[in-house]
Amino acid sequence: MNNAAASTEAPKPAPTHGIFIGKVMNLDGSRLEQKIGRDPRDVMVHGRSTIGGDEVAVGDVVTIIYEMGVGRLSNHEKAFKQHGLGR
């Protein structure tokens, strides 16, 4: 028995309402895995078909806001690059 595999928890599926802020850890055609919270096991899985908004890449810090099952993604990295440091 592999103890490392046994102790690994599955990512949590995203709910239909809520706000999630964190780094994108994995990304493919159908899902986005987002690290939330301090615990390294706190990973939320978002279905890409239910999310609209900014483009995203692995490593970007994003906010995903769900309302009635539809998510809106805001990419913090993209906003920082567009607006820069100053006012």
| pLDDT(3) > 50 | no
What the block records as the tokens of 41 is 């096991």
With vertex at residue 58, the alpha carbon angle to CA 4 and CA 86, rounded to the nearest 5 degrees, is: 130
Report residue 82's pLDDT band, with 50, 70 and 90 as the boundaries. Answer: low
Task: Render pLDDT for 10-56 as a digit per residue (tens, 0 to 9).
Answer: 666 667 789 999 999 999 999 999 999 889 889 999 999 999 999 99
Task: Render pLDDT for 50-73 as a digit per residue (tens, 0 to 9).
Answer: 999 999 999 999 999 999 889 999
Residues in the chain: 87
Note if the pTM is more than 0.85: no
Report how far apart, in Å, the C-alpha atoms of 86 and of each of 47, 77, 79 are: 35, 15, 12
Beta strand residue intervals within 1-87, DSSP E: 12-13, 18-27, 31-35, 43-47, 51-53, 61-67, 70-75
Q: According to the model, what pLDDT value does residue 78 have? A: 73
